[in-house]
Amino acid sequence: MEVQLEVRATEDELKAKRRRLWLERAARELDMADAWEASRDPAPLIVHLDKMLELSARTESLQPDDKLELARKVRAVEAKVYERHIDNLLEQTMAVTRDKDRQTERGPMIRKVNDAFNVASRLGISDKIKQGIKDKLDIIKHTSFAGDSEAAKADAEREAGMIDAPSHPRELRTFTRWRKPALVVAINGQTFNTLDWSLGGALLGDVDNRGWKCGQAVDVKIGLPDGKLHGDKMVIVRYSPEQKRLAIRSRRFTSVFMQVKRDCDAAGEEPI
């Protein structure tokens, strides 16, 4: 009897050891995956992790709860890796979009983002992250380079959505501008109408001089005339006292103008 108890105790110890080693190895694999560089293609990593899950499902060293928890952790890491990779692809796509000499790369880059997005969706990324990716893609699709001509440069300067000074003279960026529908913009309790707007900013008309300064941050509410006004903090790009025109821009990649664009879509009104 004592021998049987000793044998059973030894078997339990071996099972516990095998379980511990399995979980430790899995933890190392997950740490390695979590450190995966955003610029690298995640596909080989996903194949490797999925193979580990297949092995874990067949092994007798793990308990059912261990296997469920491991599967949850693997899916979470895989989704996180793809989120970072998509962000990296979006940054590259925007850089390509800004550069007129790289326009042939734009379509393939957008397809890469879409392909990665489809994989990430299957892995279970949240609806909030999905919407953020869609918004950034929409911004990129409505972004184009401004040419080298004086007219193109003047248009680029007039564009309130131009976010940063270009690092290269041929990297001037301008969003697609729409004049209709005109939006309502409220600043400090006073309401203005847009002369044109984009996914990056807006140009307002009939604005009296209040000492507006380039780079000044202002709280605004903006939206369709008969719709909800969305609040945001924006920056003054330029003020023309002679024309009474004020240009404002968003400080964020996915700005409140993206929500306004969605309001247009919901109302069946295509900006022109």
Model pLDDT for residues 94-114, shown as the tens digit of each residue: 888 878 888 899 889 999 999
pLDDT at 259: 85
Q: Are 30 and 77 contacting, i.e. CB atoms less than 8 angstroms apart?
A: yes
Cβ neighbors of 217 (< 8 A, separation 6 or more) are: 233, 234, 235, 236, 251
pLDDT at 268: 86
Indicate whether 1 pLDDT > 60.
no
Q: Is the peptide bond before 181 cis (omega within 30 degrees of 0)?
A: yes
Q: Are 187 and 160 contacting, i.e. CB atoms less than 8 angstroms apart?
A: no
Number of neighbours of residue 173 by Cβ within 10 angstroms: 20
**By C-alpha distance, which of 238, 248, 155 is closest to 200?**
248
Model pLDDT for residues 157-170, shown as the tens digit of each residue: 443 333 333 333 33
Least confident of 22-31, 74-83, 194-203: 194-203
High-pLDDT (> 70) share of the chain, % = 84
CA distance 272 to 255: 19
> For the chain, which domains are there?
2-141 (no CATH), 174-266 (2.40.10.220)
Indicate whether 78 pLDDT > 50.
yes
What's the sign of the alpha-carbon dihedral 262, 264, 270, 271? negative
High-pLDDT (> 90) share of the chain, % = 48
pLDDT at 170: 35
Model pLDDT for residues 196-244, shown as the tens digit of each residue: 998 888 999 999 999 999 889 999 999 998 888 999 899 999 999 999 9
Q: Are 235 and 249 contacting, i.e. CB atoms less than 8 angstroms apart?
A: yes
At residue 118, what is the residue type? N
pLDDT at 265: 84
Block residue for tokens 């890796």? 81
Query: What value does the mean pLDDT of the chain take?
Result: 82
